[in-house]
Structure 1
Amino acid sequence: MPEASLAGIAVGFALERVRPWRIGRRPAGWSLVAAGGLVIAGSLRAARTTDLSSPDRLVTSGPYALSRNPMYVGWALMQLGIGLITGSGWVLATLPAVGAGLHRDVVREERRLQESFGDEYERYSERVGRYLPRR
């Protein structure tokens, strides 16, 4: 989970040292970091009694009522915010690669949840968007 975003941030800063790509600092990034932190904290709170690596039940409350993968969303918001706060074009540029890798993992994870929870997961996935809330 956080490993991919943290790796993207670390790679971005490493590239920044080798070949600087400054975009100018944006203080609005703090809002994104705060929002990401709140989403992650809410997700952990909602899943506090569930081992997310091997769940025995679906977590559908808190942020999971809006997104099937709120922690990934939270980490992406944090990476975006850190890139803006520091003005690092490289930290921002690594976000699509991190997102693509995470998406691959999410699809694999969703297949396992479908196998484990069947119709319950099917109804949940019809009601709740993969990353963003459904209208």
Structure 2
Amino acid sequence: MPEASLAGIAAAAALEQAWPLPLPEDVRRVAGWPIVAAGVAVIAGSLKTAGTTELASPGRLVTGGPYARTRNPMYVGWGLLQLGIGVIAGSGWVLVSLPFVGALVHREVLREEQRLEERFGDEYLEYSEKVGRWLPRR
């Protein structure tokens, strides 16, 4: 759901123009690009692992690479990109928009999980018990 992240970036940019909410320069300089790089790395690893699998309607359950640590690495990557771009732009509004975007994405993920459970049954249930939805489990 990169559309939600892109909408969050656009909304934050518009709000920044109307009511600036700048981030400190040292935060922008130190944090922005590493966060973007992490997002790109997670997304690239997810795409590489998924290979030719159609993620919208998978023929197999992808459980390796980043999918072995989080069930939703693409969404995690897009969230990191949104955060990093906002930090680079110096917009505090990106921090305000993240929970709203996160709620939209979470709602879609719950729907996707239901479809995966219907399609893959016990295989998906076992996977979801081992791998966290957003963050790795210990």
Q: Same fold (TM over 0.5)?
A: yes
What pairs with 1:110-125 in structure 2 (closer than 5 Å)? 110-125=113-128
Residue 136 of structure 2 is matched in structure 1 by 133
Mapped partners of 2:95, 2:51: distance in 1: 31
**1:86 shift after superposition:** 1.5
Mapped partners of 1:62, 1:111: distance in 2: 22
Residue 63 of structure 2 is matched in structure 1 by 60
1:73/1:131 contact within 8 Å kept: yes
Residue 6 of structure 1 is matched in structure 2 by 6
4+ residue runs of structure 1 moved beyond 2 angstroms? none
Residues 5-60 of structure 1, C-alpha deviation per residue, up to 9 Å, x if partnerless?
Answer: 01100110011111111122322111010001000000011112100111111001
Residues 62-118 of structure 1, C-alpha deviation per residue, up to 9 Å, x if partnerless?
Answer: 100100000110111111111211110112211110001100100111011000000
Matched, 1:92 2:129: no
The letter for the 1-side match of 2:41 is: L
How many positions carry a matched residue from both structures? Answer: 135
Mapped partners of 1:117, 1:58: distance in 2: 7
Equivalent of 1:70, from 46, 69, 73? 73
1:66/1:134 contact within 8 Å kept: yes
Q: What CA RMSD, in Å, does the superposition of the two structures yield over aligned residues?
A: 0.9
Mapped partners of 1:132, 1:91: distance in 2: 21
Equivalent of 1:46, from 21, 31, 49? 49
SS at match of 1:58: coil
What pairs with 1:32-43 in structure 2 (closer than 5 Å)? 32-43=35-46
Mapped partners of 2:35, 2:20: distance in 1: 23
Mapped partners of 1:76, 1:123: distance in 2: 26
Residue 24 of structure 1 is matched in structure 2 by 24
Greater shift, 28-37 or 81-90, is seen at 81-90
Mapped partners of 1:18, 1:121: distance in 2: 46
SS at match of 1:94: helix
Which ranges of structure 1 fall in alignment gaps of 5 or more residues? none
